[in-house]
């Protein structure tokens, strides 16, 4: 898309605020932010620029996007509310009916055709009807453990196995993430939260299924495990004090099997401590590939980067519920100086 995108920021949690701030500071040459939406009464009525710390913009946070659409021609919505398809279904449907393209950070939306097939099919059909595109993306899922290893296989004449490792020092991350991985919980409380199915990292199986789709294989079996990492000493972050013997974070794995052999392994460790971040991809193929990103890819900034850069490319795809495989080669853009 060559013309300027008129966009609305939908959801103003930490990621939504960072997304709006980044657009205003770095992407105003290509993206015209015309509105912002949140249901939090403490945010509604405030200037979005003042809320995110960049000064007055004249863009007032509203609690309903319909009033914004009446005042402005909107091409696209940056949707950053929650992780689960069931929770965002009605939000996405409402946006589609307003004929709005959507780029969302909802993790389950990244590749929803297996765990949430019924909802995915409903969104896909509706998006095609209203001739808009809906894309789920981010950093994980959306890049580190799925898109990145997919791109690395481009030079392989044969792929036998893929293993991806991501190690995140959650000490440096925001409070909601530290709470999401159970930092500070007793082990028993961790197990109770795990049983809800809405705890810990969301999207690992979606990353696994995306890789299987890219590699054109039908997995026979998927094994997923989520276990606590328990600290052997007292730990402290900006937000939390974690006692010895309590949960510091998670060790989450998803393994895909074909003909009895593990062919895709995703291994995520995200916990509070003093360890180093890194991301690594190991491809058993021809040629073999071993790639390690020292210090890792910082999630919050990278999530916003993926959302914004994908917004430029989403119009390359046909209408419907699409994936990162449908938008062309993902990439960043040189900043247009004002």
What's the pLDDT score for residue 138?
97
Looking at the domain assignment, is residue 306 inside a domain?
yes
Same domain? 244 vs 169: yes
Same domain? 286 vs 314: no
Two structure tokens written together for 25: 């500071």
**Measured between alpha carbons, how far is 199 from 94 in angstroms, rounded to an integer?**
27
Strands 241-242 and 221-230: unpaired
List the end-to-end C-alpha distance of the chain, in Å, as a whole number.
Answer: 20
Query: Can you give the CATH number for the domain in which 71 is found?
Result: 3.40.50.720
Same domain? 306 vs 234: no
Same domain? 71 vs 110: yes
Give kind and range of the element (H or E) at residue 261.
Answer: strand 261-271
Same domain? 235 vs 256: yes
Contacts of 151 (CB under 8 A, 6+ apart): none
Question: Three-state DSSP class for 99?
Answer: coil
Same domain? 197 vs 82: no
CB 157 within 8 A of CB 259: no
Give kind and range of the element (H or E) at residue 161.
Answer: strand 158-169
Query: Can you give the CATH number for the domain in which 203 is found?
Result: 3.30.360
Looking at the domain assignment, is residue 332 inside a domain?
no
Same domain? 52 vs 100: yes
Same domain? 291 vs 307: no
Looking at the domain assignment, is residue 336 inside a domain?
no
Q: Helices marked H in 137-233 — which ranges?
A: 147-152, 175-180, 187-194, 204-214
Same domain? 291 vs 152: yes
φ, ψ (nearest 5 deg) of residue 168: -120, 125
Q: Go through 166-194 and write b for each residue having 16 or more CB atoms within 10 A of its CB, e for each that does not.
A: bbbbbbbbbeebbebbbbbbeeeebbebb
pLDDT digits (tens, 9 = 90+) for 184-231: 999 999 999 999 988 989 999 999 999 999 999 999 999 999 999 999
CB 10 within 8 A of CB 80: yes
Same domain? 186 vs 115: no
pLDDT digits (tens, 9 = 90+) for 144-178: 999 999 999 999 999 999 999 999 999 988 888 89
Confidence category of residue 337, pLDDT binned at 50, 70, 90: low
Same domain? 104 vs 10: yes
Looking at the domain assignment, is residue 78 inside a domain?
yes
φ, ψ (nearest 5 deg) of residue 69: -65, -30
Domain containing residue 317: 5-138+301-326
φ, ψ (nearest 5 deg) of residue 322: -115, 170
Confidence category of residue 264, pLDDT binned at 50, 70, 90: very high
Same domain? 173 vs 221: yes
- Number of structural domains in the chain: 2
CA dihedral 262, 264, 268, 274 (to 10 degrees): 90
CA dihedral 119, 122, 127, 128 (to 10 degrees): 140
What pTM does this model have? Answer: 0.95
* Beta partners for residue 169, in sequence order: 271
Mean pLDDT over all residues of the chain? 95
């Amino acid at each position: 898309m060559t013309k300027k995108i008129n966009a609305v920021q939908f959801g103003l949690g930490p990621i939504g605020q960072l997304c709006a701030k980044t657009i205003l500071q770095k992407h105003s040459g290509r993206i015209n932010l015309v509105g912002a939406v949140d249901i939090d009464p403490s945010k509604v009525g405030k200037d979005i620029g003042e809320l995110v710390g960049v000064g007055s913009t004249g863009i007032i946070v509203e609690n309903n996007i319909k009033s914004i659409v009446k005042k402005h021609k909107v091409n696209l919505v940056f949707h950053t509310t929650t992780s689960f398809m069931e929770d965002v279904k009605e939000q996405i449907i409402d946006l589609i009916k307003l004929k709005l393209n959507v780029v969302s950070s909802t993790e389950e939306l990244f590749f929803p055709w297996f765990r949430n097939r019924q909802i995915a099919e409903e969104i896909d059909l509706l998006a095609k009807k209203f001739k808009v595109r809906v894309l789920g993306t981010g950093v994980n899922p959306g890049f580190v453990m799925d898109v990145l290893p997919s791109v690395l296989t481009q030079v392989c004449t044969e792929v036998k196995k893929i293993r991806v490792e991501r190690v995140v020092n959650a000490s440096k991350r925001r409070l909601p993430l530290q709470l999401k991985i159970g930092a500070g919980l007793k082990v028993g409380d961790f197990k109770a939260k795990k049983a809800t199915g809405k705890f810990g990292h969301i999207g690992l199986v979606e990353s696994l299924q995306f890789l299987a789709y890219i590699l054109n294989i039908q997995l026979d079996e998927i094994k997923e495990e989520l276990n606590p990492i328990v600290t052997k000493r007292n730990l402290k972050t900006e937000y939390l004090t974690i006692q010895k013997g309590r949960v510091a974070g998670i060790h989450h794995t998803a393994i895909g099997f074909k003909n009895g052999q593990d062919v895709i392994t995703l291994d995520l460790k995200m916990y509070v401590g003093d360890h180093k971040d890194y991301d690594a991809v190991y491809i058993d193929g021809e040629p073999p590939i071993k790639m390690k990103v020292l210090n890792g890819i910082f999630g919050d900034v990278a999530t916003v980067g993926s959302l914004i850069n994908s917004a430029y490319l989403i119009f390359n795809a046909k209408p419907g519920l699409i994936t990162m495989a449908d938008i062309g080669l993902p990439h960043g853009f040189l900043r247009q100086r004002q």
